[in-house]
Structure 1
Amino acid sequence: MSRRLILAVYTLLISVPILVIVGSSLKTTKELFAAPFGLPPHPTLDNYATVLGEQDLLRVLGNSVLVVSVSVPVTLLLGSLVAFAVARLPKWPSAVLFGVFAIGLAVPAQAIMIPQYVQFERLGLRNSLTGLILVDVVVTLPVAVFILAGFMRTLPPELYEAAEIDGAGPWATFRRIAVPVSYPSLAATAIFLLVMHWNDLLYPLLFIDDPEKRTLPLALLDFQGEYLTDYPLLFTGVVVASLPMVLAYAFLQRHFVAGITAGAVKG
């Protein structure tokens, strides 16, 4: 009973803000201030038409999709290669390699922003989606290595030994053995990376000046003025920006649950 009660309270805490945001996106500014938590008296889709049309959110959405669709697969590929090396190398080389990437988790992003900005300016990568993809990959690669290495270390050594007996080299073993077996962990890591890259505001705010190359989190700042914020438009933008993440999680939920529990019990 107590477990159901806790789940009910948790569901309520999650559902209320979502319902308020969705309901507010269907209101006018006057209706929102009159009843912030009430149902829309006259639901309207004008805010969505404004966001998707006048605010040109579809183009911004395309920029975010491009950044995520490139950076996530590249990060997964590099992270899985490093994780495979960490799992297969002898003890000390493996510890050193893993430690190098663990340092990346310990260093705050704000501590290296100025050197990154200067370096990207010199390389001509600032104010470009290519530069944004590159920095996203570099910053989130330690996260991918940390998750994937933890799983690949739990794989039975007999799998690799059988591949070696069959004459498979390191690349064949990685491609035919490690990757298929690690699919749940790869799916869970992909969701983590997807959320991190999709919601990233810090680096677009630092590197992107051209309005044509803005991503969704950066575009949402346009709804906030110095003296006045259009909250219905802001909430509408949040709904539109969150919808791809909700759909992705809905389709990948089974793999996400399997991935976060993979390796919890060593076989």
Structure 2
Amino acid sequence: MRGPAVARRLVLAVYALLIIVPLVVIVGGSFKTTQDLFAAPFGLPTRPTLDNYVTVLSRQNLLRVLGNSVLVVAVSVPVTLLLGSLVAFAVARLPRWPSRILYAVFAVGLAVPAQAVMIPQYVQFDRLGLRDSLLGLMLVNVVVTLPVAVFILAGFLKTLPAELYEAAELDGAGPWAAYRRIAVPVSYPSLAATAIFLVVMHWNDLLYPLLFIDDPDKRTLPLALLDFQGEYLTEYPLLFTGVVVASLPMIVAYAFLQRHFVAGITAGAVKG
């Protein structure tokens, strides 16, 4: 076996350990008591218990919190995909300079850190009465992640041959019809991949719920997990259990959408 191949496998093995070890600690720790966790943090549970899951589900009103996260994601992702696909279609079909200017506007949104605009966003949402509401959280999610959707979808739509749109124009289709009948159907893999990115970003977001949400009944899952971390004591078994519960929907979603995700990230990689 050659040196580069050995080095590559060694790097992959180290990377696998960096992923597997924390995963084993978190999943195994969710079935341990605090004493067992500190006695053997890297070992498998010798006396597995489901008490942590019962405590998390009952103590944190997890069903309400889970419902809030599901509602925020279920609204934010489709709206972001709709707006992002419309902007990406415009970027792909406009003449060169208008297209570049429009694309540059959204590229700036990727370059500016979210933390740099949080104070103006907070003040504006407070004036509009949208702070401490799930509607306000949905809107800020759409605004923050829209540049990501435009970036991914525009990269794919630019690879489509112009002949597709020219044929539609010959059939009398306008821009809206070309968007609905050509751009959206052929972009399904790219839309699915973008949707997965957005779902993960919205589901795991802690910063904006921490900034905008004060009402305990409107918290999302990442925000609820903070309750397990105190000033002097962190309940690690309960925290690990909350992390496992919060990760399960993402794991299930990826298991069902894996084929679309792989197709989406490779779409447009080879242009005929």
Query: Could you tell me the TM-score, scaled by structure 1's length?
Result: 0.97
Structure 1 CA distance for aligned equivalents of residues 119 and 249 of structure 2: 32
Moved more, 59-68 or 13-22: 13-22
1:128 lines up with 2:133 in the alignment: yes
- 230, 248, 258: which is aligned to 2:263? 258
1:104 lines up with 2:123 in the alignment: no
Deviation, 1:59, is 1.0
How many residues align? The count is 267
Structure 1 CA distance for aligned equivalents of residues 73 and 136 of structure 2: 13
- 185, 189, 194: which is aligned to 1:189? 194
Look up the equivalent residue of 2:227 and give its one-letter code: D
Deviation, 1:8, is 4.5
Structure 1 CA distance for aligned equivalents of residues 231 and 255 of structure 2: 37
Query: Could you tell me the TM-score, scaled by structure 2's length?
Result: 0.95
Quote the residue 1:160 is aligned against: 165
Q: Secondary structure of 2:91's partner?
A: helix
Post-superposition CA distance 1:135-172 (Å, at most 9, x none): 00000000000110010000010111111111111111
The within-5 A match list for 1:179-218 is: 179-218=184-223
- 45, 48, 68: which is aligned to 1:63? 68
Structure 2 CA distance for aligned equivalents of residues 59 and 210 of structure 1: 12
The within-5 A match list for 1:237-248 is: 237-248=242-253
Structure 1 CA distance for aligned equivalents of residues 157 and 202 of structure 2: 24
- 17, 22, 28: which is aligned to 1:23? 28
Structure 1 CA distance for aligned equivalents of residues 169 and 54 of structure 2: 59
Q: Secondary structure of 2:234's partner?
A: coil
Look up the equivalent residue of 2:104 and give its one-letter code: G
Post-superposition CA distance 1:209-234 (Å, at most 9, x none): 00000001111100000000000000
Post-superposition CA distance 1:112-151 (Å, at most 9, x none): 1111111001100000000000000000000000110010
Structure 2 CA distance for aligned equivalents of residues 31 and 229 of structure 1: 15
Look up the equivalent residue of 2:101 and give its one-letter code: V
Look up the equivalent residue of 2:135 and give its one-letter code: T
1:72 lines up with 2:77 in the alignment: yes
Structure 2 CA distance for aligned equivalents of residues 69 and 233 of structure 1: 27
Structure 2 CA distance for aligned equivalents of residues 264 and 179 of structure 1: 18
Look up the equivalent residue of 1:139 and give its one-letter code: V
Q: Percent identity?
A: 85
Quote the residue 1:170 is aligned against: 175
Structure 1 CA distance for aligned equivalents of residues 245 and 267 of structure 2: 32
Moved more, 1-10 or 202-211: 1-10
- 29, 43, 47: which is aligned to 1:42? 47
Look up the equivalent residue of 1:155 and give its one-letter code: L
- 47, 57, 80: which is aligned to 1:52? 57
Deviation, 1:4, is 5.5
The within-5 A match list for 1:130-145 is: 130-145=135-150
Quote the residue 2:232 is aligned against: 227
Post-superposition CA distance 1:51-96 (Å, at most 9, x none): 1112211211110000000000000000000000000000011011
Please report the RMSD computed on the Cα atoms of aligned residues, expressed in angstroms: 1.2
Show structure 1 runs of 5+ residues with no match.
Answer: none
